Chain A
Amino acid sequence: QSALTQPASVSGSPGQSIAISCTGTSSDVGGYNHVSWYQQLPGKAPKLIIYDVDNRPSGVSDRFSGSKSGNTASLTISRLQAEDETDYYCNSYTSANTRVFGTGTRVTVL
């Protein structure tokens, strides 16, 4: 099972919006509305920030939003802040009854 494809890095200036893509196939991202996104700070466990494509868990900033079109899901971070500089991973349910992570994206705030 191949990892979902994410850009290795995305950057933006404070206050701007950035988007991270997550490309899979019709057997994972495209076939189900069960895409999650995680934020991982250095040396820490991942934190769920989006589930089921576009839902935010309680307590997660509304600057984070998710969407999906075909086999590609996206995470948008609005009003970019210095604290958003870290790693982000998408994760999708698959037709094999398991889940798969994306390759990960490092966000840099310029």
Chain B
Amino acid sequence: EVQLVQSGAVVKKPGESLKISCKGSGYSFINYWIAWVRQMPGKGLEWMGIFYPGDSKVRYSPSFQGQVTISADKSISTAYLQWSSLKASDTAMYFCARSQVGDYYSGMNVWGQGTTVTVSS
């Protein structure tokens, strides 16, 4: 079964760093793009960026460029989303999602269960 399993919910303080993960299984991890999507409480979906494990290409949405880092360790089929200094406004649910095919033109058809990040002093 093709699936993405994300790391568990986390509570952090402002200014702390964080790295959340998304492990792929049931498919060739290096051949599909992995995207990260933010959903703030009670709000809509926001595209953060997308990563290709095959050659480490990354494309950030302008709103998130410089705010987060997207990476992956293809040896363990795991993608990451990280912050160096969290803010309260980073409180949200974060989803990872896999491209349907080998490019990211045709939508994301496999999604992780989501990781809740709470940033509070």
Chain A positions near chain B (C-beta within 8 angstroms): 1, 3, 32, 34, 36, 38, 40, 45-48, 50-52, 55, 57, 87, 89, 91, 93, 96-104
Contact = CB atoms under 8 A, between A and B. Distances in A.
B44 A104 contact: yes
B42 to A, nearest CB: 11
Given A52-B106, A57-B109, A93-B105, A98 B59 contact: yes
B44 A98 contact: no
Q: Is the interface of A mostly helix, strand, loop or mixed?
A: strand
Contact of B105 (A45, A52, A104): A52
Given A46-B97, A50-B107, A99-B47, 7 more contacts: A46-B37, A93-B104, A98-B47, A99-B35, A99-B50, A100-B47, A104-B44
A1 to B, nearest CB: 5
A109 B116 CA distance: 30
